[in-house]
Amino acid sequence: MAHGQLFKNLTTMVLEENSFLVACRQKISMKGFVSLSKNATIFSVAADILEHVADEYPNKPVLLYSARRPDAYKNNTSMRESIKKALHDAVSFSKLSSLCKLMVPVGLSSLSTSKVSAFLRIDDAKPFHCSAVYAASIHSLSLPFRMDPLGPTANSKHVSGAVDIGELVQMLTGQAWQNMVTILDAAIPAPCLSGDDTHGSFQRNLHPLTPETAVDVEDSQAVESLVVHGVLSSGGHRALISEVMDSVYRAYEHGLPKPMFLHLSTALCPLPIPLPFPSIFGNLVGQHGELLHYPTQGNQSRGSLEISSIPMAARLRSSSAILPFIQKRSDDLRRFGVARGAAGAQVLHDWGFSKDEVEDMEEGLSKMVTMLNPHCELSSDSD
């Protein structure tokens, strides 16, 4: 997968064997690290590097995108293997989350049937299809890091909403929930600002690429960082920065669930579709990413030869909707690793974890759950 230039002035280290990427600004005033890992586990090179970064740069925030392929969700043939996989997921999540300030799980069990793929033609068996979607979303979320900060009275016609890694992490983790596991939503391509009866607005087309999240959760304490770039106006032209901002805030006045806090970053430039990009767009997507009312003639799947760029919307969302993801790993570790006579206790011992270490990990995951669901602690106490 071609990750592209995620940041300007970067030192980039890529370990292809484990698909792990670490990027940092090549400046003394380095703001933090962004890391992308595929199938990161407690036994992977990714965990070792994150541990090294935490030791060497204890005051620099790390933003971790932890991605999984669809085939990572395949069912195991035996109960023992299912227990090992559940424990492996729980322990890996506990370990990796302790080595970063903000963690974004990415990777659906079936991207092809998800709402994100409404205008796409995804084959889950082709890794480059899934990689293209995730890379496009992460690239969009990196835009605020690459924007030049503007003064309080400055005004730009091209970009708005610059933020650095440290500010983003503090924004998403330092509010009401104190939650460090964030949901990634995307609209690919993003519909036009006003939307229509067929496609709807781009905000209503933002759907999660993070697995195991709750749906239709209206969280009044949610915190969001929304990035919109290259979006089109109702007339088919690139929407102005002011038009995007007005449209976003006006949507909350017309019934869209409003978060407690929203940071909006926007830019005129769309997402360019490079020549090696796989043919994942459906026949309702036009040359510039506009959504058509009638399908085009020819192939059902379209790529860079037919489409030059697309408008994008991507969002990081700190919300109680992530609770099922954390709850499952907490429950699995308690059930299979900590409870009396736990079926996976020997597995954890064979992996080198003492009883105290396992109990500490379980306690840490339980605290994450309680942060997002205070009633959980009350019910546990009453039991």
The pLDDT tens digits for 274-304 are 988 999 999 999 999 999 988 888 778 999 9
Q: What is the mean pLDDT of residues 67-83?
A: 85
How far apart are alpha carbons 313 and 92 in whole angstroms? 30
Query: Quick one: tokens of 342?
Result: 């736990």
Q: What angle do helix axes 374-382 and 355-372 make, rounded to 10 degrees?
A: 120
Residue bearing the bigger pLDDT, 42 or 262: 262
* Predicted confidence (pLDDT) at residue 321 exceeds the cutoff of 90: yes
Among 7, 2, 69, which Cα is nearest to 277's? 2
The pLDDT tens digits for 160-207 are 999 999 999 999 998 767 789 999 999 999 999 876 656 667 888 999
Strand (E) or helix (H) holding 12: strand 10-15
Among 250, 286, 243, which Cα is nearest to 267's? 243
Cα distances from 240 to residues 65, 165, 226, 232, 244, in angstroms, run: 30, 26, 16, 9, 6
Among 326, 344, 353, which Cα is nearest to 97's? 326
Exposed / middle / buried, residue 331 (Cβ in 10 Å: 0-12, 13-18, 19+): middle
Q: Is the peptide bond between 152 and the residue preceding it cis, with omega within 30 degrees of 0?
A: no
Residue 23: the pLDDT is: 52
Residue 375: the pLDDT is: 63
* Predicted confidence (pLDDT) at residue 218 exceeds the cutoff of 70: yes
Residue bearing the bigger pLDDT, 198 or 99: 99
How far apart are alpha carbons 321 and 183 in whole angstroms? 8
Domain range list for the chain = 10-323, 324-382
The pLDDT tens digits for 49-74 are 888 888 888 889 999 999 888 888 88
Residue 196: the pLDDT is: 63
> Which amino acid, residue 235?
G
DSSP 3-state percent helix, strand, coil across the chain (nearest 5): 35, 20, 45
Confidence of residue 383 (pLDDT cuts 50, 70, 90): very low
Among 337, 328, 305, which Cα is nearest to 210's? 328
The pLDDT tens digits for 110-147 are 999 999 999 999 999 998 999 999 999 999 999 999 99
Q: Which residues pair with 272 in a beta bridge?
A: 309
Average pLDDT, the chain: 85
Confidence of residue 380 (pLDDT cuts 50, 70, 90): very low
Exposed / middle / buried, residue 361 (Cβ in 10 Å: 0-12, 13-18, 19+): buried
Pairing label, strands 183-187, 33-38: unpaired
Q: What is the mean pLDDT of residues 89-116?
A: 94
CATH no. of 10-323 = 3.40.50
The pLDDT tens digits for 324-356 are 999 999 999 999 999 999 999 999 999 999 999
Segments of 39-182 assigned E as strands: 62-67, 102-106, 159-160
Residue 251: the pLDDT is: 87
Residue 8: the pLDDT is: 34
Q: What is the pTM of this model?
A: 0.89
* Predicted confidence (pLDDT) at residue 1 exceeds the cutoff of 80: no
Alpha helices in the chain, H assignment, sequence order:
45-56, 79-97, 127-141, 143-146, 165-173, 241-251, 323-333, 345-350, 355-372, 374-382
Q: What is the mean pLDDT of residues 30-55?
A: 79
* Predicted confidence (pLDDT) at residue 20 exceeds the cutoff of 60: no
* Predicted confidence (pLDDT) at residue 317 exceeds the cutoff of 60: yes
Query: Quick one: tokens of 308?
Result: 């030059």
42-56, 128-142, 148-162, 213-227: segment of lowest average pLDDT = 148-162
